[in-house]
Amino acid sequence: MKLIECKDLCMKYEGVPAFENLSFSIDEGDFLCIVGENGSGKSTLVKGILGLKKYSSGSIEFGGVKPKEIGYLPQQTAAQKDFPATVREVVLSGCLNRNALFPFYTKENKARAKREIERMKIESIADKSYRDLSGGQQQRVLLARALCATEKLLLLDEPVSGLDPIVTSEMYEVIHELNHSGVTVIMVTHDIHNAVHYGSKILNMSKNDYFFGTSDEYITTESFRLMSRGCFHGEGGCFTHGR
């Protein structure tokens, strides 16, 4: 079943297009990786899907998922360094979309937050302050929050940027497992090798052109060669495609 279908999508900032004529779709159970150079419009597309920014033409259709049932992990959290909030408070805030106008958290909300905290293996830091966590721990917390908001579709904007290689691969494993358990995942990333390794589909955005297809198709394309070129010329054995 198609969860999201974008047709001829175009998004602009003050009349200047960030991207144009983009068409792609996401099926239930997919792991779609969005790659592309800086400024190619990946985050803009994410905002379009979430309804945070209006698109100027084309269409985005949702099937089986409502826009506010998407679990979102922003590229940069607006939260500042000194924000006092416990991990539990942050995770719980992901449940708010379930409560319509009811002002407080329900028993189910709390149970759900507890479950997601366990799933992300952050029980031991659940009462710590979010501001005192490491980057990788913070990402796990935000992922748990996103999972509170959805069981269908996760939209992750560069969840591994700034994480060390070990934590990065842990993150990929976590996301991979979530995908296995039935959560559809859309992830923006610059990590091209893990993208083709874990992703089932790839959307490669660039200034005037784009590629959309399975990751097996993608590794035969010129844009994949270009995107991973740095590595071919770099240290030997950097490119390991383990499929």
Partner 1 sequence: MADELIAVFSYPFMQRALVVGILVSLCAALLGTSLVLKRYSMIGDGLSHVGYGAFAIAAAAGIAPLGFAIPVVIASAFLLLYITRKGKMGGDSAIAILSSSALAIGMIVLALNRVSIDINSYMFGSILALSEEDVVLSVICSVIVCVTFILLYHRIFAVTFDESFASATGIRTGVYNSFISVLTAVVIVVGMRLMGALLISSLMIFPSLSSMRVCKGFKSVTICSAVISVVCFTSGLIGSYFIDVPTGAGIVVVNLAVFLIFALVGKVKER
Ligand X SMILES: Nc1ncnc2c1ncn2[C@@H]1O[C@H](COP(=O)(O)OP(=O)(O)OP(=O)(O)O)[C@@H](O)[C@H]1O
Establish if 94 lies at the interface with partner 1 (CB under 8 A): yes
Cα 21 from Cα 9, distance rounded (Å)? 5
**Positions in 110-139 near partner 1 (CB under 8 A):** 127-129, 132
Residues 75-114 that bind ligand X (CB under 6 A): 75
| Residue 111: partners with Cβ closer than 8 Å, 6 or more residues away | none
Q: What are phi and psi of 146, to 5 degrees?
A: -60, -40
By CB under 8 A, what part of segment 19-78 binds partner 1? 47, 50-52, 67-68, 70, 72, 74, 77-78
- Residue 40 or 137 having the CB closest to ligand X: 40
Residues present in the chain in total: 243
What is the nearest approach in angstroms of ligand X to the Cβ of residue 18?
4
Helix (H, G, I), strand (E, B) or coil at 65: coil
Report the partner that residue 39 touches, choosing among ligand X, partner 1, Mg ion, none (CB closer than 5 to 8 A by kind).
ligand X
**Using CB distances below 5 to 8 A depending on partner kind, what does residue 41 bind out of Mg ion, ligand X, partner 1, none?**
ligand X
Q: Which residues bind ligand X (CB under 6 A)?
A: 13, 18, 36, 38-44, 75
